[in-house]
């Protein structure tokens, strides 16, 4: 599938980091969720950002997940952390609909969504407004000629460091060893992020409060090991 860079409405210097946006046709129920539920949960970035005002009740913290895929991790965190407000960004419609279905089924009021490029949200958010951020198993763009499209790079980490609160946590995950190296190298160039690993298990073993995503499960089936990189905002 060809990629049209003109579809990226962000800075013209940014390459689109995702492929297709639409998969299978929506079922009648999914179409209803898209038409009626998404507008209630979607970020309105025409207004000044006030993350604590996005939710119907007071939230202890705001967390951000970039590229939530099928939404397994986002929904799990929302269910297990009901006093946290969760912002999820995902351009693929099928994944967004899955989260809308879970929100409807479980009556979750602590999820807000941006069905588009997360970098727009990072520009919109105020400094030091996010307590935890996740970028889990992003598209690895394995071909050498496409690796410039990888989402996690120095530019993204600088943007994340801006919105993270001091003491806040960034979690990166990948099953591609080369991508793990580039993630770590980019993070080490960001002076406001500190890698918290003290032993090999700190990046080889998934933390208990980090549920498995479908992409990680696929990596396990295909015999690939995963890296779990945790950073603290200094």
Which residue among the candidates 94, 104, 109, 139 is catalytic per the annotation?
Answer: 139
Residue 157: name the closest of 45, 66, 62, 85 by CA. 66
Domains of the chain: 22-233 (3.40.50.150)
- Strands across the sheet with 164-174, in order? 111-114, 84-89, 61-66, 130-136, 164-174, 227-233, 193-195
Active site residue 83: no
* Residue 1 DSSP one-character state: -
Quick: pLDDT tens for 105-164.
999 999 999 999 999 999 999 999 999 999 999 998 777 665 788 999 999 999 999 999
End-to-end CA distance of the chain: 41
What is the rounded average pLDDT for all residues in the chain? Answer: 90
Quick: pLDDT tens for 55-92.
999 999 999 999 999 999 999 999 999 999 999 999 99
Question: What angle do helix axes 177-188 and 154-163 make, rounded to 10 degrees?
Answer: 60
pTM for the model: 0.90
């Amino acid at each position: 599938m060809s990629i049209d860079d003109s579809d990226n409405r962000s800075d013209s210097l940014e390459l689109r980091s995702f492929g297709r946006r639409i998969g299978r046709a929506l079922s009648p129920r999914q179409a209803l969720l898209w038409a009626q539920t998404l507008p209630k949960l979607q970020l309105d970035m025409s207004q000044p950002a006030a993350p604590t005002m996005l939710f119907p009740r007071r939230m202890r913290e705001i967390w951000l997940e970039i590229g939530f895929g099928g939404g397994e991790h986002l929904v799990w965190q929302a269910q297990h952390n009901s006093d946290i407000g969760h912002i999820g960004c995902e351009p693929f419609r099928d994944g967004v609909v899955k989260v809308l279905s879970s929100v409807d089924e479980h009556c979750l009021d602590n999820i807000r969504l941006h069905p588009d490029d997360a970098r727009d949200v990072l520009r919109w958010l105020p400094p030091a407004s996010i307590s935890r951020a996740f970028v889990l198993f992003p598209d690895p763009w394995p071909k050498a000629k496409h690796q410039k499209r990888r989402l996690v790079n120095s530019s993204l980490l600088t943007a994340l460091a801006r919105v993270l609160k001091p003491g806040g946590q960034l979690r990166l995950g990948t099953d591609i060893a080369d991508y793990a190296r580039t993630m770590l190298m980019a993070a080490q160039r960001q002076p406001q992020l500190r890698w918290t690993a003290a032993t090999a298990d700190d990046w080889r073993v998934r933390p208990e409060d980090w549920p498995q995503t479908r992409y990680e499960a696929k990596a396990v089936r295909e015999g690939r090991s995963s890296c779990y990189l945790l950073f603290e905002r200094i």
